[in-house]
Amino acid sequence: MNQSIRKPVVAGVAALLLAAGAVGCGAEKEKSPEMSPAAAVAKAAKNSRDITTLSYRMTGRTPEEGRVEADVQMRIKPTMAMSMKIKALDQGADGTAEIRVVDGAMFMGGNPEMSKEMDGRDWIKFDLSTLGVDKEQMNALGGASSAESNPAEESTFLTGADDLEKVGTEKIGGVETTHYQGTVSLASMRKSYEKEDDAKAREKSLKSLEKYEQMGIDKLLMDMWMDGDHQTKQFRVRGDAEKGKLDVTIAFKDVNKPVKVAAPHPSQVMDLGEMMKEGAEGAEG
């Protein structure tokens, strides 16, 4: 597959995982008593763990690919699935793609140039069982991890900010929100996560932290816009990486509403696992 096509898509998936924070989209209810910034952000982080489905729009800039935008629908429970349409705006035609994750397989398509390389078929399939790879290897391809991880859980990053403060109030998507901001270092975040009592949550958080470390970022400036239900309507993360600036904003839309993701029709799919299997059998013959 054309590397110029795959590279921005994979990086875009990583950007989504790195940039997302706590999420919510409910109507504002009666206001609760004023909470400290730390308590409010911690409550939003806790609320994020109850999310079963979500959709959001990501815009911004990643260190290697430049301007990126994406629309995502994700089902986390009871089974995992995702649909993402992404554009690396500075990559031209090669930077447009769609990714779907269904039943443990990732489908990549939506790019005319890629279709030309696959005899007119529009999708290429990466299947865990067929390829015989583990989850860590699949994560390197940039697809499965985004469906297996609730991006809202990374809101805990902001709880580790020593300078966390309430900036003011703003309307986001027609909803009144409170704007919080803080700067966090990777070292302080790691210490905070290592104290997490929930082993599963701790493991996910530490893996998310590693993604930033691999980018060469040592501190992050984070903004969170929270509604009256202590759910986040918008989240922004900024940092200086080894290969450039990271500046990504996530605007959350629907939460806990039905999400349906269908696999492409088999006639339009090139199965990478089957190709590898046929190639191996041919070599043995």
pLDDT score for 180: 95
What are the extents of the domains in the chain? Answer: 3-284
Write the DSSP string, 9-57: HHHHHHHHHHH------PPP-SPPPP--HHHHHHHHHHHHTT--EEEEE
Instruction: Identify the three-state secondary structure at position 81.
Output: strand
Q: Which two tokens stand for residue 115?
A: 């279709």
pLDDT score for 197: 85
Global confidence as pTM: 0.75
Q: Which amino acid is at 105?
A: A
Write the DSSP string, 98-135: EEEEETTEEEEE--HHHHHTTTT--EEEEEHHHHT--H
pLDDT score for 143: 36
pLDDT score for 17: 40
Per-residue pLDDT of the chain in tens (285 residues, 90 and over written 9): 444 434 444 444 444 444 343 333 333 334 445 788 989 988 888 888 788 888 999 999 988 889 999 999 998 888 888 999 999 898 876 788 899 988 888 898 877 777 777 777 889 888 755 555 444 444 433 333 333 455 556 666 787 788 999 999 999 989 999 999 999 898 878 877 788 788 877 887 787 788 888 889 999 999 999 999 888 888 899 999 989 999 999 888 888 898 889 999 988 888 876 666 655 555 555
pLDDT score for 210: 84
Q: How do strand 219-226 and strand 175-185 relate by DSSP bridges?
A: antiparallel
The topology (CATH level 3) of 3-284 is outer membrane lipoprotein receptor (LolB), chain A (2.50.20)
Cα-to-chain-centroid distance, residue 9: 12
